[in-house]
Amino acid sequence: MADQLISTAVHDQLPENYARPETQRPRLHEVVSDAQIPVVDLADPDLAAVVARIGEACATHGFFQVLNHGVPVELMDAMLAVAYDFFRLPPEEKAKLYSDDPAKKMRLSTSFNVRKETVHNWRDYLRLHCHPLEQFVPDWPANPPSFREIVSAYCREVRGLGFRLYAAISASLGLEEEYVKKELGEQEQHMAVNFYPKCPAPDLTFGLPAHTDPNALTILLMDQQVPGLQVLKEGRWIAVNPRPNALVINIGDQLQALSNGRYKSVWHRAVVNADKPRMSVASFLCPCNDVLIGPAAKLVGDGSPAVYRDYTYAEYYSKFWSRNLDQEHCLELFRT
């Protein structure tokens, strides 16, 4: 099955099972290329202003970039470099890690869910569980030799940043700073190292089609040279152009539920490039599987009834993986 990996060969033509029907193609000429998603400088000494900007971004875009976030730039560079080195490994080395089983906690795979799809996506990816590190690192790839050390260090930094953002998001909703972190329990942390090879027909396929993230918060490290992330805003696709040394943050489905719909887990997608490969590293903070998730009591009242019923993350995640990526927003299944 590892011969399904698209990163093990150069493709002069797009295989038929990657070409989208005409109505589902990316229409790249319609994408807004010069719009800006909000940017928040976390080093601003006016903490109230930082909280307000984060709250506004969560409500209007569901996405924002953070500057001066505390993750060392040299570690971000090393993370991308070791990711590229991993995908340059010989095919036989990568074949040992291949799996199309979504339940596996460490796997190299392709597209999204090849067991269910009829049309594939132009992406190979390495999926890792990252917390607690001591439990999962021994099963991570041993090559490149620096992989485990660099990725572990990056995971620790990103987890700390995620919890700082939780505090700001809680405060922006008028909740105690610890609310989100406490409410979501002992959180798992996953990573997807996404590799999008050069594509012979980027107008016919996706790296990933439109989707929302099922987790709570996503922290994305993007290739500065090759943009590809696009966000849906008021019916139009907006290209996300990463600022130097920034990380891109997006609200996942669980924070939309917890905020009673005030904050948006928005549709986003990845497009591909004819001239250059692209890499991105997505870190996902995920609620504890058995914790009960629902709108914060303080955000529910006579004027604003609960939009979503309570559920466990295990129930939600199971439902998410049983569907196609680009079906209706999974949260719609949990409305009151």
pLDDT tens digits, 281-301: 999 999 999 999 999 999 998
> How high is the pLDDT of residue 302?
78
Model pLDDT, residue 326 = 64
Cα diameter, the chain: 61
The mean of the pLDDT values for the chain is: 94
pLDDT of 209 reads 94
Counting residues of the chain whose pLDDT is more than 90, the rounded percentage is 85
Write the pLDDT tens digit of every residue in 118-142. 899 999 999 999 999 999 999 999 9
Tens of pLDDT, residue by residue over 167-212, are 999 999 999 999 999 999 999 999 999 999 999 999 999 999 999 9
Other CB atoms within 10 A of residue 79 CB? 23
CA distances from 309 to 183, 225, 296, 305, 327 (A): 15, 42, 11, 11, 20
Whether this model's pTM surpasses 0.75: yes
Given pLDDT bands bounded at 50, 70 and 90, which one contains residue 66? very high
pLDDT digits 0-9 by tens, 216-275: 999 999 998 898 999 999 999 999 998 999 999 999 999 999 999 999 999 999 999 999
Residue 327 has pLDDT above 90, yes or no: no
- Long-range own/partner contacts, residues 4-8 (CB < 8 A, 24 or more apart): 4/98, 4/100, 4/110, 4/111, 4/114, 5/91, 5/94, 5/95, 5/98, 5/108, 5/110, 5/124, 6/110, 6/122, 6/123, 6/124, 6/197, 7/87, 7/94, 7/124, 7/195, 7/197, 8/91, 8/94
User: Which pLDDT does position 81 carry in this prediction?
Assistant: 98
In the structure, what pLDDT confidence band is assigned to residue 2 with cuts at 50, 70 and 90?
A: low
pLDDT for residue 306 is more than 70: yes
Higher confidence at residue 206 or residue 323?
Answer: 206
| pLDDT score of 280 | 98
Task: Encode pLDDT of 136-145 as tens digits.
Answer: 999 999 999 9
Instruction: Please check the confidence at residue 149 and state whether its pLDDT lies above 80.
Output: yes
The confidence score (pLDDT) of residue 254 equals: 97
